């Protein structure tokens, strides 16, 4: 039988706490995470607001927010939280839950970048930057950002035309398959 709070607000808080392994319920709204957040001016929700909305079971608004995709994982919030809430880990978990629950993503580019990056790692064992960028550009249809930088990057030796494959690439591909199976069981 659900406890009183769960009866009123649903199981979202418990789900997030289980996934992130951190006591989101302990947040008492000191806003220290939001004041130190370098991305706060660009976010639709502040990190402390995200914590409060999780308490209140506002699953849709949280999972569809842009904020969870704009978090840069700089760990300032996690470092400074007086209640030892790993706020950055909560953001990670919320992104995963948003993708799994197939909500409309607040900033689809984050997910498109993740997929392009990891696909490259799965294929070569390491990131092949050029291939990853092409895959990301096709997914996001954001063709022009940084296009002018590629010439300079080639001439400076920062981009190569061919991947530098790891000798263990085949093992990595197997590891990806197994990790995806494990994630489904969570």
Partner 1 sequence: MTVGTRYAFFPGCSLESTGWDLDRSTRAICRALGIELVDIPDWVCCGSTPAHTSNATLSVALPVMNLLKARELGLPVLTACASCYARLRTANDTVQDDPEERARAERVTGKPYHGGVVVRHLLDVLVNDLGVDAVRAKVRRPLTGMKVACYYGCLLTRPPRIVAFDDAEHPSCMEELVTAIGAEPVQWPFQTECCGASLAITRAEIVNRLSHRLLSMARLAGADCLSVACPLCESNLDLRQADAAKAHGPIPDTPVLYITQLLGLALGLSNAELGLDALTVSAEPMLAASGV
Contact between 13 and 25 (Cβ < 8 Å) = yes
HSE-CB at 61 with a 13 A cutoff on CA atoms is: 13
DSSP SS3 for 159: coil
Residues 33-52 that bind partner 1 (CB under 8 A): 38-39, 41-42
Burial of 178 (C-beta count, 10 Å sphere; 0-12/13-18/19+): exposed
Task: List the one residue from 9, 10, 129, 131 that touches partner 1 (CB under 8 A).
Answer: 129
Min. distance of Cβ 101 from partner 1 in angstroms? 14
Task: List the one residue from 104, 145, 161, 162 that touches partner 1 (CB under 8 A).
Answer: 145
- Stretch near partner 1 under the rule CB under 8 A, chosen from 7-15, 26-34, 56-64, 132-140: 132-140
65 is a site residue for partner 1 (CB under 8 A):
no
- Backbone phi and psi for residue 149, each to the nearest 5 degrees, phi listed first: -85, -20
- Backbone phi and psi for residue 128, each to the nearest 5 degrees, phi listed first: -100, 100
135 is written with which tokens? 């895959």
Min. distance of Cβ 5 from partner 1 in angstroms? 25
64 is a site residue for partner 1 (CB under 8 A):
no
Contact letters (x/-) for partner 1, 147-166, by CB under 8 A? --x--xx--xxxxx---x-x
Contact between 32 and 87 (Cβ < 8 Å) = no
Min. distance of Cβ 138 from partner 1 in angstroms? 14
Buried/exposed code over 81-103 (b: 16+ C-beta within 10 A; e: otherwise): beeebbbbbbbbbbbebbeeeee
101 is a site residue for partner 1 (CB under 8 A):
no
- Backbone phi and psi for residue 137, each to the nearest 5 degrees, phi listed first: -65, -40
Q: Give the residues lining the site for partner 1 (CB under 8 A).
A: 21, 38-39, 41-42, 69-70, 72-76, 78-79, 86, 88, 91-93, 95-96, 99, 107, 109-115, 117-118, 121, 125-127, 129, 133, 136, 140, 145-146, 149, 152-153, 156-160, 164, 166-169, 171-172, 175-176, 178-180, 182-183, 186
């Amino acid at each position: 039988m659900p406890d009183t709070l769960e009866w009123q607000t649903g199981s979202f808080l418990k789900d997030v706490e289980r996934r992130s392994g951190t006591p989101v319920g302990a947040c008492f709204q000191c806003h220290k995470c939001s004041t130190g957040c370098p991305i706060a001016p660009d976010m639709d929700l502040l990190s402390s607001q995200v914590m409060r909305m999780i308490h209140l079971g506002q699953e849709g608004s949280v999972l569809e927010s842009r904020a969870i995709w704009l978090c840069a994982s700089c760990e300032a919030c996690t470092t400074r939280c007086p209640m030892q809430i790993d706020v950055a880990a909560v953001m990670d978990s919320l992104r995963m839950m948003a993708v799994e629950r197939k909500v409309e993503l607040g900033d689809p580019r984050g997910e498109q970048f993740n997929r392009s990056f990891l696909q490259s790692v799965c294929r070569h064992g390491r990131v092949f930057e050029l291939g990853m960028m092409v895959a990301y550009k096709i997914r996001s249809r954001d063709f022009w950002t940084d296009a002018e930088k590629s010439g300079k990057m080639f001439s400076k030796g920062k981009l190569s035309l061919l991947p530098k494959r790891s000798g263990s690439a085949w093992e990595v591909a197997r590891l990806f398959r197994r990790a995806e199976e494990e994630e489904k069981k969570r």
